[in-house]
Structure 1
Amino acid sequence: MSNRNKHDLDKECPICGGIIWGRGQLTLVEGAKIVVCQSCAQHGKKIYSKPKITYPKRINSYKNSSTPKKTYKTQKKVYQPELVIVDDYSERIRKIRQKNNLTQEKFAQKIHEKESLIKRIETKKTKPSIDLAKKIEKEYNIKLLDESDIIEVNTDKYMKKSTGSSLGDTAFIKKKKKD
């Protein structure tokens, strides 16, 4: 009798509690794959699975009995210097354009960009992207990019050892003074 009860519990619908007759329906309900009765299958997406075909395993005689184990290297945190655009980029671009006797239109055509973008860059309304700055540097042999200072912060002493880090572990929060 206890065997029958166990079998009946396996066939109980988790949504309505009714008995599942037959195989039931595999359904995706709120992100979970569950087997439900046919009437509750409408509450989720039905999942149809193809029957799995199993093939006999081949035995490779040429393969060694010992397989090499994968070794994982721990990556060290190496901070690459970040490229930043110099502060006086607009003056440098305007000077090199005027030195070569080019209009903004001709300058833009030479680097395959829009004239309006060059106008916005020269008036400091837009900062050029790193790629555009590299393109201008290459074409006109001027320096627009600079490496930012490398700042290494050892966060190990601020982080909790047992759990992952949170914002509070690495940020220094100023507290308001009470009057």
Structure 2
Amino acid sequence: MSQLSHLDRDGQPRMVDVAAKPVTARSATAAASVYLNEEAFALAVEGVSAKGNVFAVARIAGIMAAKRTAELIPLCHPLPLSHVSVDFDTDAVERCIRIRATCHVSAQTGVEMEAMTAASVAALTIYDMCKAVDRTIRIADLRLIAKSGGRSGSFVAA
């Protein structure tokens, strides 16, 4: 059975010691979806929300969140991110904004949590910017869709 890496032999939380691991290039991409009503979706897509350009603000929020992941998630290592991108696709039929966040780093540990944090905070920012016209907004499908680098190698979600 696999062991959880953030627990010691006594089941107590611990930060994983990565000192002996080599520095390697690593990347991770995460995704999330935000479903809105017709009015909120239109405002977001047209860039005319009362709070400003939804996509620009959500992109900045996601990038800033990736950079602060170690402050938000207990036991995460602070990482010197070399790149963060947050991109959006829209689906008018489902009134959905799909978020894709990618992070790159050369480090001793992976960057999955940074990508997941970027996607989730971008989704929350879209919610915040659109909630005045839609209280039924739904955030869904937050997940890791790909990673590369490190001892465990590459992963691509099916």
The two structures have a TM-score, normalised by structure 2, of: 0.24
Structure with max Cα Rg: 1
Higher strand share: 2
Answer 1 or 2: higher relative contact order, Cα 8 Å, separation at least 6: 2
TM-score normalised to structure 1 length: 0.22
